[in-house]
């Protein structure tokens, strides 16, 4: 007979177990058998309280959760469970809502409770929250018989009410960085913007805005989740920012906007500081003209007056554009030298002959390409004055620049159950 049948009254134990005969006048030959039987029963009780007993039960959903746990004890507990039965077990799966535990074919199975002695009307029994049991973790439970028969997990009520909550009991919807890249238990989901079941994660659905679909935002509008599903926050490649009007306070004015107006436009969409779930920002950025720091372009030797240049390469070298303290330069492209006085000799025409540039800014000689003049080895000038016109070549590039704070890529989780 198991230890749970033993009585605290010595006289009541005389016939409680036929395998143990500590009766008056028992034969000496029965001493060893009685002692060994007691040792075996104590070992059964010990092993039932070791936490090595693994539950069984069908699971469903993603992550897999169990509604009906079963367990076979070493002692053999009664099918009609009695008050005060105690067991320690290891959960094989996370628990769904309204989970129960059935040991040794107990009828009916006992609901699992987080707190409350169900025999005490003044204390309300609280069903175990979905996802509380973590696969591979050990729990102790005591059976309370009464109007609502059930298993109460020891100290879980105090654990739930404790102000010093552990990470495992953070409020549903809590987002945390995580060193790994997969969920460690059924309580947590990776925060990757995926769709999950409203029914399975009912509390999280409410926290994430319910029908308002807060986390379906795509940068300009909202994606519609599949029937019965909702979107979880998408932390992939993103950092979270607290709402500008956090908790209903007056807006701080750091990130403007209420969807769909007055948001902050970014390379990857418009973010609205007072609209939860909106997204924006990018890791790189190509500057627009209006974003370039204000600066000046100085110009030298646009009005040219020289007495004699044997090679007009000197003219090209003298036409420069520079900004500020020569932080960068721009070359003159398609420049034209228009004479106002004097003449340029030896200018190579397309037919191989040479001629002089006519004086004056309005005749044919007033618009010859500087590059063509420079390339004429025999060109000469004498007493020439004039003006240079043309386009300024671009400088720099349109390469996107890094737009990212010092960062470390890690995982991100959201408490789901």
pLDDT tens profile 263-282: 998 888 899 999 999 999 98
Asked whether the predicted pLDDT for residue 67 surpasses 90, the reply is yes
Q: Give the confidence band of 13 by pLDDT, cuts at 50, 70, 90.
A: confident
DSSP symbols for 155-207 = THHHHHH-SS--GGGPPTT-EEEESSSS-SSTTEEE-BS-EEETTTTHHHHHH
Residues in the chain: 417
- Percent of the chain exceeding pLDDT 90 equals 40
Q: What is the mean pLDDT of the chain?
A: 76
Stretch 118-123: mean pLDDT, rounded? 47
The H or E element containing residue 374 is helix 370-374
Q: Which region among 22-36, 305-319, 376-390 has the lowest average model confidence (pLDDT)?
A: 305-319
State the pLDDT at residue 333: 55
Q: Is pLDDT of 412 > 70?
A: yes
CA distances from 335 to 217, 300, 320, 331, 370 (A): 52, 14, 11, 10, 6
Is the pLDDT higher at 99 or at 332? 99
> Is 137 a residue whose pLDDT tops 50?
yes
Q: Residue 389 pairs with which residues in a beta bridge?
A: 336
Nearest to 340 by CA among 301, 367, 312: 367
**Cβ contact 113:152 at 8 Å:** yes
Q: Coil, helix or strand for 278?
A: coil
As separate numbers, helices (DSSP H) first and strands (DSSP E) second, the chain gives 5, 26
Q: Which of 54-63, 216-225, 292-301, 338-347 has the lowest mean pLDDT?
A: 338-347
Query: So what's the pLDDT on residue 171?
Result: 82
pLDDT band at residue 343 using 50, 70 and 90 as cut-offs: very low
Q: What are phi and psi of 300, to 5 degrees?
A: -125, 145
In this structure, of 313-327, 378-392, 399-413, the range with the lowest mean pLDDT score is 313-327
Q: How many CB atoms lie within 10 A of CB 35?
A: 12
Q: Is the pLDDT of residue 353 over 60?
A: no
Helix H, strand E, coil C: the string for 37-86 is HHHHHHHHHHHHCCCCCECECCEECCCCEEEEEEECCCCCCCCCCCCCCE
Alpha-carbon span 175 to 232, nearest angstrom:
11
What is each CA distance from 101 to 25, 44, 51, 171, 361, in whole angstroms?
44, 20, 15, 25, 103
Q: State both tokens at 404.
A: 């990212």
pLDDT at 100 over 90: yes
Q: What share of the chain is helix, strand, coil (3-state, %, to 5)?
A: 15, 30, 55
The answer, yes or no, to whether residue 119 has pLDDT greater than 80, is no
Report how far apart the first and last C-alpha atoms of the chain are (Å, whole number).
41
Considering only the C-alpha atoms of the chain, give the largest distance between any 2 of them, rounded to a whole number of Å.
147
Q: Which one has a higher pLDDT value, 230 or 308? A: 230
- Reported as a single tens digit per residue, the pLDDT across 295-306 is 766 554 444 443
pLDDT(308) > 80: no
| Tokens describing residue 188 | 């947590």
In this prediction, residue 399 carries a pLDDT of: 83
Indicate if the pLDDT at residue 326 is higher than 50.
Answer: no
Residue pair 20/94 in contact (Cβ under 8 Å)? The answer is no
265: left (phi over 0), alpha (psi -120 to 50) or beta: beta
Residue with tokens 């053999």: 76
């Amino acid at each position: 007979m198991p230890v749970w049948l033993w009585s605290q009254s010595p006289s009541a134990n005389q016939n409680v177990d036929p395998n143990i005969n500590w009766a008056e006048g028992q034969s000496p030959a029965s001493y060893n058998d009685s002692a060994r039987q007691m040792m075996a029963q104590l070992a059964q009780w010990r092993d039932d309280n070791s936490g090595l007993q693994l539950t069984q039960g069908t699971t469903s959903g993603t992550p897999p959760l169990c509604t009906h746990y079963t367990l076979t004890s070493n002692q053999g507990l009664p099918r009609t469970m009695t008050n005060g039965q105690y067991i320690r077990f290891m959960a094989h799966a996370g628990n769904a809502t309204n989970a129960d535990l059935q040991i040794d074919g107990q009828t009916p199975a006992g609901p699992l409770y987080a707190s409350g002695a169900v025999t005490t009307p003044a204390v309300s029994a609280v069903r175990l929250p979905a996802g509380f049991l973590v696969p591979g973790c050990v729990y102790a439970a005591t059976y309370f018989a009464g109007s609502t028969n059930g298993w109460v997990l020891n100290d879980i009520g105090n654990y739930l009410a404790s102000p010093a909550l552990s990470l495992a009991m953070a409020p549903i919807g809590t987002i945390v960085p995580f060193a790994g890249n997969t969920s460690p238990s059924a309580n947590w989901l990776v925060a990757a913007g995926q769709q999950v079941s409203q029914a399975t994660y009912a509390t999280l659905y409410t926290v994430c805005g319910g029908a308002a679909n807060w986390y379906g935002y795509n940068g300009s509008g909202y994606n519609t989740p599949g029937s019965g599903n909702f979107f979880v926050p998408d932390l992939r490649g993103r950092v979270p920012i607290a709402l500008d009007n956090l908790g209903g306070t007056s807006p701080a004015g750091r990130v403007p906007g209420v969807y769909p107006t007055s948001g902050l436009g970014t390379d990857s969409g418009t973010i609205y500081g007072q609209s939860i779930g909106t997204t924006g920002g990018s890791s790189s950025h190509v500057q627009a003209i209006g974003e370039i720091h204000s600066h000046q372009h100085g110009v030298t030797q646009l009005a040219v007056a020289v007495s004699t240049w044997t090679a007009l390469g000197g003219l090209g070298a003298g036409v420069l554009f520079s900004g500020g303290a020569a932080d960068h330069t721009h070359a003159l492209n398609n420049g034209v030298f228009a004479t106002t006085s004097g003449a340029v000799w030896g200018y190579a025409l397309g037919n191989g002959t040479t001629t002089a540039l006519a004086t004056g800014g309005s005749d044919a000689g007033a618009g010859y390409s500087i590059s063509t003049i420079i390339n004429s080895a025999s060109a000469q000038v004498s007493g020439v004055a004039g003006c240079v016109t043309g386009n300024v070549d671009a400088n720099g590039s349109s390469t996107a620049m890094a737009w990212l704070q010092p960062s470390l890529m890690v995982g991100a989780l959201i408490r789901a159950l």
